[in-house]
């Protein structure tokens, strides 16, 4: 019974020895020859002219006859040319400079600021006196970014009723819409790509819902600040709703003051929340290259974060130099702190998160929350 097992062991050992001998001897020599042939073929292919046609495969040639790594000519397929429709839109790429110093490898490591590019901007329009102010600012931002601008007209109105029959739009709404369209064409006429849209709704919920939907398709939405004392043309919570419904940045222009541009002296209201982080990132697209920025970090006493100053490094990595201002809250309200620092800095832009407790979670410990109605500078808010 032991002889067959011994015989099998001897046969297996002999086969193993033969295999090793083949790979270490003749087989290894043949593998080296094939490897040298492959290298030579690849070098020959790399040295050929880039536009030289690949050699056709002879009819009936087997795949093994083709050298590995060489380009194989596929059968030519006649594909009809498809004419790309012309689109009247501003260019979406930033012109690249051809100066010699910008072509050096060192420039690849220089910090860039506007990683977030604004190419689609929406501005809300109504019949109020502040519409021209925010429209002019939106046009300036669109022109600087070569962006498409969409003006959306929508204001509160009630349908005209004759008995029990309601007619829409009422004459006052139609007149205001026509005037808005004419003003938009006049002010935004210098842009390469601009569009005027009528929400064609007068109810508060409908305006907020439809404008929130349109904001989803924009990189930035420009709205006006609500004024309690003025004529009520738009929903009071329009800016907050559009920001939360669309998830896109919203620039709120105050109802008082003149703001021809933003981003020269930005103030970043910082806290370790999702809203503040998004607002800071979105604010980079509006920040000037030579901006004098301020990063305000207000915190409850004895609750200062050890990581807060890293936000300055974050801005610096995007080419923005900012002064770090930590402030320990005691008897001050958050709104007082924001307004005081914005005034002292001469801010023309403030970033503010609206998630959680207005993006400033450490400030919501028995203190009133800041609201967009009280701020006196353009505010870029994010949710």
| Residue-wise pLDDT tens digits, 101-148 | 333 344 333 333 445 689 999 999 999 999 999 999 999 999 999 999
Query: What integer is the mean pLDDT of 173-190?
Result: 96
Give CA angle at 184 (179, 188), nearest 5°: 160
- The neighbouring-strand residues paired with 161 are 166
User: Tell me, what's the pLDDT at 362?
Assistant: 41
User: Tell me, what's the pLDDT at 153?
Assistant: 98
CB neighbour class for 108 (10 Å; exposed up to 12, middle 13-18, buried from 19): exposed
**H/E run at residue 299:** strand 293-300
User: Tell me, what's the pLDDT at 301?
Assistant: 80
Q: What's the pLDDT tens digit per position in 20-61? A: 665 566 555 666 676 677 667 666 655 544 444 444 444 444
User: Tell me, what's the pLDDT at 64?
Assistant: 38
Q: Pick the more confident residue, 96 or 242.
A: 242
User: Tell me, what's the pLDDT at 242?
Assistant: 96
Q: How many C-beta atoms lie closer than 10 Å to residue 120's C-beta? A: 20
Tell me: pLDDT of 346 over 80: yes
Q: What's the pLDDT tens digit per position in 196-221? A: 999 999 999 999 999 999 999 999 99
Tokens 């109504």, located at residue:
126
- The neighbouring-strand residues paired with 221 are 122, 250
User: Tell me, what's the pLDDT at 372?
Assistant: 86
The model's pTM is: 0.69
Tell me: pLDDT of 175 over 80: yes
User: Tell me, what's the pLDDT at 299?
Assistant: 87
Tell me: pLDDT of 7 over 90: no
User: Tell me, what's the pLDDT at 146?
Assistant: 95
CB neighbour class for 75 (10 Å; exposed up to 12, middle 13-18, buried from 19): exposed
Burial state string for 136-151 with b = 16 or more CB within 10 A and e = fewer than 16 = bbbbebbeebbbbbbb
Q: What's the pLDDT tens digit per position in 240-299? A: 999 999 999 999 999 999 999 999 999 999 988 899 999 999 999 999 989 999 999 988
How many percent of the chain have pLDDT more than 90? 53
User: Tell me, what's the pLDDT at 177?
Assistant: 97
- Say how far apart CA 383 and CA 374 lie, in whole Å: 18
The maximal CA–CA distance of the chain, rounded, in angstroms, is 114
**Angstrom distances, CA of residue 346 to CA of 65, 250, 294, 338:** 76, 21, 10, 12
Query: What integer is the mean pLDDT of 294-315?
Result: 92
Query: What integer is the mean pLDDT of 60-68?
Result: 39
Q: Which two tokens stand for residue 274?
A: 């999702």
């Amino acid at each position: 019974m032991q002889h067959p097992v011994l015989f099998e062991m001897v046969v297996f050992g002999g086969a193993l020895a033969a295999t090793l001998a083949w790979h270490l001897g003749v087989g290894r020599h043949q593998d080296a020859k094939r490897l040298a042939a492959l290298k030579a073929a690849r070098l020959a292919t790399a040295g050929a002219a880039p536009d030289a046609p690949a050699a056709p495969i002879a009819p009936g040639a087997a795949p093994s006859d083709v050298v590995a790594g060489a380009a194989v000519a596929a059968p030519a397929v006649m594909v009809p040319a498809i004419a790309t429709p012309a689109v009247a839109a501003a260019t979406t790429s930033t012109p690249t400079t051809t100066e010699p110093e910008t072509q050096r490898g060192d420039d690849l490591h220089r910090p860039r600021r506007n990683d977030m590019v604004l190419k689609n901007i929406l501005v809300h329009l109504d019949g109020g006196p502040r519409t021209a102010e925010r429209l002019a600012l939106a046009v300036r931002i669109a022109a600087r970014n070569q962006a498409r601008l969409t003006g959306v007209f929508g204001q509160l109105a009630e349908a005209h009723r004759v008995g029990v029959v309601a007619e829409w739009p009422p004459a006052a709404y139609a007149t205001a819409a026509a005037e808005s369209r004419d003003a938009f064409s006049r002010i935004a006429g210098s842009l390469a790509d601009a569009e005027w849209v009528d929400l064609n709704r007068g109810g508060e919920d409908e305006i907020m819902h439809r404008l929130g939907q349109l904001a989803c398709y924009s990189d930035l939405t420009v709205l006006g600040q609500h004024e309690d004392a003025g004529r009520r043309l738009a929903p009071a919570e329009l800016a907050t709703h559009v920001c939360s419904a669309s998830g896109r940045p919203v620039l709120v222009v105050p109802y008082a003051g003149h703001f021809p541009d933003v981003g020269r002296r930005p103030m970043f209201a910082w806290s370790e929340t999702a809203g503040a982080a998004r607002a800071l990132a979105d604010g980079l697209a509006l920040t000037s290259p030579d901006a004098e920025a301020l990063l305000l970090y207000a915190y409850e006493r004895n609750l200062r974060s050890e990581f807060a100053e890293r936000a300055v490094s974050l801005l610096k990595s995007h080419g923005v130099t900012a002064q770090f201002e930590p402030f320990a809250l005691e008897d001050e309200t958050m709104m007082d702190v924001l307004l005081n620092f914005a005034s002292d800095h001469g801010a023309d832009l403030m970033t503010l998160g609206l998630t959680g407790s207005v993006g400033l979670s450490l400030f919501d410990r028995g203190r009133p929350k800041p609201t967009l109605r009280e701020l006196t500078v353009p505010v870029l808010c994010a949710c």
